[in-house]
Structure 1
């Protein structure tokens, strides 16, 4: 019996896959190398570029100085741009939560084939380029567009809707709404409908059931969806560039202008790095606050 154990062990080892003998770090090395080449190295190069000095005659000059950071952090012009960027992102996120959460709830209560059909309708905008959707909204919202023609039928307008914050927010909500609906709908799939029925059978009102039973279980989906929507809205370029025009600049369009119009690469890199840092700070703070409230509501 004792002699059979080594034979069994050798047979099990022979059947084990070859990668079972590799250390974990070696198995992760290809993915990390790809991540480093595509993300970490460009970020490091951008960080180094922020310390360069810009000469209009010769371009970026290698130097270790903080003049670009001082210019962005002390200029009211850039303060306005960053305030507009995050204001649009917050408003877009709030509207996506207000529209996407009930939409996902209704979607989860549908039966096939209607659920599959409406899910396809929700995901259909992702199949169209953002630039195409931005041009579509531009044609809808311009002075001679369909929206103003519809308002004119009621004796209203025409209104200047294009090249406004309203146009940017409406188009961003259209683009970002699937990123809110899908996480909330996924969270709803884990919700047992019998818990709602049990609460209703115990004389809880529908509003109390929604607030005490359904909403706390939706919070992980709302949290993940709002983080995606906020991050993508704060760094959006195509829609603010096409629907905001040259007057309503956001951080992404300011980076574009500094790189390709002014050719001030160090200042453009500084704006991009500060946008990334501010985005991370806001998202992490938001995540911690909502996580604590969710844990408190569960407890």
Structure 2
């Protein structure tokens, strides 16, 4: 008798089987057909796994270049899916995000008694009134300024030194004028702009970028990712400064167009996202 066997060896063979019954030997030949069936191996690659390893609770010793490589390999879709995923915290001093923060100006040393109202005139580098803040009552210890002018479309120019004058109106009708201290910031961010004082970020050699300057560049990278822009215009008083910034950022960005523009009167390096 014959029958088909489904054994996964992929060979057609004859298998002799010997049986003993009633003292007689019978030879039974069975034909077997082996059928080959390919097995499928399914797998899934998580594009966020490298980042999860970097940012997870476990600690790994990482290659200094790994963050750059992950950004380039994962690509812009990652930023769009989770804009905070690759945001690297940085420590920059005297730097304000004007979309979320206000400048606290200390005026405690100018306080007087019996004050009916007060006015603070913030002056630009040319001595012109840029912003007027006034209120009834005594002068507080600090006043808040959003970095903008009386015209809200105007934003303070980092690198220029601002100052302020305090006018105190007393309850008996007299008036006192006091000269305030300079207002000098290292950098600001607002809407699609990051501006850093040139003295803080200027570099002519991308291979000699200090940690302080690298922190400013990282802030620019963070802002770009959070806001989802696709190109950068770098403005500086010197083309070489702008080109150094471009080279540094270009090595760390994925498909982001970067242009430079020389603006001789600038005392800052400005990154305009588009």
TM-score, normalising length from structure 2? 0.22
Higher helix content, 1 or 2 = 1
Structure with greater Cα Rg: 2
TM-score, normalising length from structure 1? 0.21
Higher strand content, 1 or 2 = 2
| Structure with greater contact order relative to length (CA < 8 Å, sep ≥ 6) | 1
